[in-house]
């Protein structure tokens, strides 16, 4: 009796181990609620699409992906605890978070545990801290700012600029990077207006900018705040060009702001409207499945999941450290690795180099005006 | 001067909407000694009734608004009174306060669950035009919000002061026992108060959501501002709540433009502290309380 019980237990344990060994555990820590839900839940949908595709096509190295999702509630401390939880539960690689304020806090936990983390965050500081385990899924804000500065000065011909920015890690990073570029290019910042995360009333912010004499406004806010800013700008008749980096002209902001987003200009790293066949294919699949169009965050989540797959397959085994080492200096050609959608390279800091686009919002969609080379 | 005029109009427009929610606070307090800490969520929910009417049932905007108004009367007025206030009130004010806090959390999480945590676009009710007035660009939407909110509050004042039912409601608020002796149907009057609060919350929600977007967490800020407005103006006076709402709307905008955008949220709290220290009954409140 005892023998058969032990045999049964051993068999069950063996089967359990076998089942566990056939899956690869990846964790996605995202802003599924709270102020960052507009970014995090879209990112999560991008991840879901990619993971399901990966599993349908045989998984990673023949193993199915077991993707577990954690809601950071847009709370940096909560995100830190969840990264630790995900690692304790056996995650081999991490996806998320999207909000830089969370990522700067939780990436230290991933670093201490030696787990590679693929983030959607864009604050310059993320890749400036010398953390070898962090990898972006799109380039940091500092890469887009010189392109935006040149566009404002050379194309729009403005000299007086206002900045509306979010008083968060993400916003501060973009604000500082843009201010440095503006100073370098001789652009005069006549209004510098910070707003809080989750701010609902932008009437005073817009009024301040309107009365500053600014010839254009650089908007560096997160999704819902960008939409509220654009709605208020339309309400108050702020008729100077509104220029942003990635978020301002994203599909999410266009959907939220409705007609108020019309004419907004921006530099974007990823756009479903880009003339790139793989991006358009992903756009179609995403729209069919989720009933709305993917924005840059959805595309980042999708690319992040595929980057883990390709990195692990290049290494040839499921090993967090080897994946981390392989990612530094890695370039993936979209023809050979279609899940990355566009050719992409990571440098020694986990920073990304890739083509980008200048866009204008026309008829509730992004219209690509210029394709810019990687920098 | 033009800038100041713009700030005033914009602040009054936002303040008038805060006042609608603040008036609801004072009404419920007067009628049934209820401090409704779910008032912010009461302002958040009707916008989702409108969106559900439009997206799920395909109603045009005007029909969705009417439906939302009726639903608000039923859910935020009658059901709130029957299911929460009546069973909890005999146990004292504190259990009722805790019950309304719990209700607020339930409403917030339910909207998040059924309608997602993301902000939702809300169709504008008024033209998105700007008119030039003495050099100031005044938004038509701000003017319309101000007019609608004021019309609602003035109608309420007229109803309370000029109609038999309104006077019976005031008598109930002043002393329910005496009112009952005089033949007033006290239970019905209290129910009317809850229905009015539901309607005011719905109007505030529909006015504010085109600019703030409809989001499950909107009630957190709105509830706090309305509560502060009611205390600043005077918790036992409708005109006090109106003044408190307008004052906070204007001061918030003035602070953001002339003092600091970063510290704007602190200004209403500073005002609250000053009022509590200098005039605890509020600017227009009376120490003895209990008049609508």
Report the alpha-carbon distance of residue B224 to residue B230 in Å, rounded. Answer: 10
Residue B290 lies in a domain: no
Residues of chain B contacting A235 with CB distance shorter than 8 Å? 128, 130, 139, 141-142, 211
User: Is pLDDT at A6 greater than 50 in this prediction?
Assistant: no
User: Is pLDDT at A275 greater than 80 in this prediction?
Assistant: yes
Considering only residues B261 and B223, tell me which one the structure prediction assigns the higher pLDDT. B223
Nearest CA in chain B to A225: B212
Residue B288 — very low, low, confident or very high, per pLDDT cuts 50/70/90? Answer: low
Report the alpha-carbon distance of residue A335 to residue A341 in Å, rounded. Answer: 8
* Subunit contact B139:A198, Cβ cutoff 8 A: no
User: Is pLDDT at A274 greater than 70 in this prediction?
Assistant: yes
A75 near B CB under 8 A: no
Residue B23 lies in a domain: yes
By DSSP bridging, strand A352-353 and strand B136-139 are: unpaired
Give A237-252 pLDDT, tens digit per residue: 899 999 999 899 988 8
Give A310-337 pLDDT, tens digit per residue: 999 999 999 999 999 999 999 999 999 9
Give the pLDDT of residue B235: 85
Residues of chain B contacting A255 with CB distance shorter than 8 Å? 121
Report the alpha-carbon distance of residue A296 to residue A286 in Å, rounded. Answer: 12
Written as one string, the DSSP assignment of B12-70 is: HHHHHHHHHHHHHHHHHHHHH----TTHHHHHHHHHHHHHHHHHTS---HHHHHHHHHH
Report the alpha-carbon distance of residue B289 to residue A121 in Å, rounded. Answer: 53
Residues of chain B contacting A207 with CB distance shorter than 8 Å? 3, 6-7, 10, 253, 257
Residue A17 — very low, low, confident or very high, per pLDDT cuts 50/70/90? Answer: very low
Give the pLDDT of residue A16: 42
Contact indicator for A302, A342 with CB cutoff of 8 Å? no
* Subunit contact B212:A228, Cβ cutoff 8 A: yes
* Subunit contact B7:A204, Cβ cutoff 8 A: yes
Report the alpha-carbon distance of residue A301 to residue A317 in Å, rounded. Answer: 22
Give B143-182 pLDDT, tens digit per residue: 999 999 999 999 999 999 999 999 999 898 888 889 999 8
Tell me if residue B101 falls in helix, strand or coil. helix
* Out of A185-194, A263-272, B264-273, least confident range: B264-273
Domain total of chain B: 1
Contact indicator for B149, B14 with CB cutoff of 8 Å? no
Tell me if residue B137 falls in helix, strand or coil. strand
Task: CATH number for A2-139+277-354: choose from 3.10.20.600, 3.90.1580.10, 3.40.50.2300, 2.40.10.10.
Answer: 3.40.50.2300
Q: Give A282→chain B minimum CA distance, Å.
A: 22
User: Is pLDDT at A8 greater than 70 in this prediction?
Assistant: no
Nearest CA in chain A to B212: A200
Report the alpha-carbon distance of residue A315 to residue A205 in Å, rounded. Answer: 50
Q: Give B18→chain A minimum CA distance, Å.
A: 12
Residue B133 — very low, low, confident or very high, per pLDDT cuts 50/70/90? Answer: confident
pLDDT over 70, % of chain A = 94
* Subunit contact B10:A204, Cβ cutoff 8 A: yes
Residues of chain A contacting B137 with CB distance shorter than 8 Å? 210, 236-237
Residues of chain A contacting B124 with CB distance shorter than 8 Å? 258
A85 near B CB under 8 A: no
User: Is pLDDT at B243 greater than 90 in this prediction?
Assistant: yes
Which residue in B108, B116, B117, B136 has the most chain A C-beta atoms within 10 A of its own C-beta, making it the best mutation to test that interface?
A: B117
Give the pLDDT of residue A18: 40
Give the pLDDT of residue A11: 45
* Subunit contact A255:B118, Cβ cutoff 8 A: no
User: Is pLDDT at A9 greater than 50 in this prediction?
Assistant: no
A279 near B CB under 8 A: no
Give the pLDDT of residue A49: 98
Write the burial class of residue B254 (CB in 10 Å: 0-12 exposed, 13-18 middle, 19+ buried): middle
Same fold across A2-139+277-354 and A141-268: yes
* Subunit contact A203:B137, Cβ cutoff 8 A: no
- Tracing tokens 């690319």 back to the chain, one arrives at A303
Question: What residues of chain B have any CB closer than 8 angstroms to a CB in chain A?
Answer: 3, 6-7, 10-11, 14, 112, 116-121, 123-124, 128, 130, 137, 139, 141-142, 210-213, 215, 217-218, 221, 252-253, 255-257, 261-262, 264-265
Which pair of tokens denotes residue A178? 């843009």
Give B58-73 pLDDT, tens digit per residue: 999 999 999 999 999 9
Residue A2 — very low, low, confident or very high, per pLDDT cuts 50/70/90? Answer: very low
ipTM beyond cut 0.85: no
Residue A275: Cβ within 10 Å count: 10
Give A225-237 pLDDT, tens digit per residue: 999 999 999 988 8
Residue B283 lies in a domain: no
CATH of the domain at B55: 1.10.3470
Give B73-90 pLDDT, tens digit per residue: 999 999 999 999 989 888
Residues of chain A contacting B121 with CB distance shorter than 8 Å? 227, 255-258
Total CB pairs under 8 A between chain A and B: 98
Tell me which residue range forms the domain holding B123.
Answer: 2-278
User: What CATH number belongs to A141-268?
Assistant: 3.40.50.2300
Residues of chain A contacting B139 with CB distance shorter than 8 Å? 235-237
Going from N- to C-terminal start, the domains of chain A cover 2-139+277-354, 141-268
Q: Which of A204, A237, A260 has its CB closest to that of B137? A: A237
Give the pLDDT of residue A15: 43
């Amino acid at each position: 009796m005892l023998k058969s019980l032990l045999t049964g237990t051993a068999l069950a344990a063996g089967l359990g181990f076998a089942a566990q060994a056939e899956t690869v555990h990846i964790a996605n820590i995202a802003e599924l609620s709270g102020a960052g839900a507009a970014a995090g839940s879209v990112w999560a949908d991008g991840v879901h699409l990619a993971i399901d595709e990966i599993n349908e096509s045989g998984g990673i190295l023949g193993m199915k992906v077991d993707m577990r999702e954690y809601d950071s509630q847009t709370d940096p401390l909560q995100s830190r605890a969840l990264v630790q939880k995900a690692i304790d539960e056996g995650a081999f690689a991490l996806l998320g978070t999207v909000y830089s304020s969370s990522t700067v806090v939780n990436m230290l936990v991933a670093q201490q545990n030696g787990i590679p983390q693929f983030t959607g965050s864009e604050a310059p500081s993320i890749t400036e801290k010398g953390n070898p385990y962090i990898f972006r899924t799109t380039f940091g804000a500092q890469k887009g700012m010189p392109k935006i500065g040149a566009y404002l000065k050379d194309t729009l011909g403005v000299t007086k600029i206002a900045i509306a920015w979010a008083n968060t890690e993400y916003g501060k990073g973009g604000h500082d990077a843009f201010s440095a570029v503006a100073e370098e290019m001789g652009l005069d910042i006549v209004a510098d207006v910070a707003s809080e995360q989750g701010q609902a009333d932008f009437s005073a912010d817009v009024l301040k900018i309107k009365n500053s004499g600014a010839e254009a406004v650089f908007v560096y806010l997160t999704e819902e705040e960008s939409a509220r800013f654009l709605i208020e700008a339309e309400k108050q008749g702020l008729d100077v060009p509104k220029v942003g980096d990635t978020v301002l002209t994203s599909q999410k902001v266009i959907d939220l702001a409705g007609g108020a987003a019309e004419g907004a200009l921006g530099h974007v790293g990823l756009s479903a409207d880009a003339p790139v066949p793989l991006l358009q294919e992903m756009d179609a699949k995403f729209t069919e499945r989720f009933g709305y169009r993917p924005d840059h965050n959805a595309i980042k989540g999708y690319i992040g999941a595929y980057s883990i797959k390709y990195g692990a397959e290049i290494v040839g085994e499921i090993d967090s450290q080897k994946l981390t080492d392989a990612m530094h200096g890695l370039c993936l050609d979209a023809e050979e690795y279609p899940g990355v959608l566009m050719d992409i390279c990571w440098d020694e800091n986990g920073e990304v180099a890739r083509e980008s686009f200048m866009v204008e919002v026309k008829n509730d969609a992004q219209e690509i005006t210029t394709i810019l080379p990687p920098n | 001067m033009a800038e100041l005029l713009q700030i005033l109009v914009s602040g009054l427009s936002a303040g008038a909407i805060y006042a609608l929610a603040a008036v609801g606070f004072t009404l419920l307090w007067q009628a049934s000694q209820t401090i409704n800490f779910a008032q912010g969520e009461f302002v958040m929910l009707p916008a989702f009734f409108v969106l559900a009417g439009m997206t799920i049932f395909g109603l045009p905007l005007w029909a969705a608004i009417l439906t939302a108004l009726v639903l608000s009367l039923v859910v935020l007025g009658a059901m709130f009174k029957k299911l929460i206030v009546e069973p909890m009130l005999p146990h004292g004010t504190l259990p009722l306060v805790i019950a309304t806090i719990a209700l607020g959390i339930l409403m917030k999480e339910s909207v998040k669950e059924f309608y997602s945590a993301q902000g939702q676009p809300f169709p504008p009710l008024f033209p998105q035009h700007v008119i030039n007035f003495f050099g100031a660009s005044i938004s038509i939407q701000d003017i319309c919000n101000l007019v609608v909110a004021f019309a609602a509050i003035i109608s309420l004042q007229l109803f309370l002061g000029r109609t038999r039912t309104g006077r019976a409601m005031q008598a109930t608020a002043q002393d329910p026992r005496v009112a009952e002796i005089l033949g007033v149907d006290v239970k019905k009057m209290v129910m009317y108060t809850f229905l009015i609060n539901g309607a005011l919350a719905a109007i505030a929600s529909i006015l504010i959501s085109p600019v703030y977007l409809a989001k499950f967490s909107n009630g957190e800020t709105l509830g706090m501002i309305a509560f502060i407005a009611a205390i600043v103006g005077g918790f036992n006076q409708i005109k006090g709540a109106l003044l408190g709402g307008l004052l906070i709307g204007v001061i918030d905008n003035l602070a953001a433009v002339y003092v600091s955008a970063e510290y704007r949220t602190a200004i209403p709290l500073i005002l609250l502290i000053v009022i509590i220290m200098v005039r605890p009954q509020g600017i227009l409140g009376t120490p003895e309380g209990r008049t609508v």
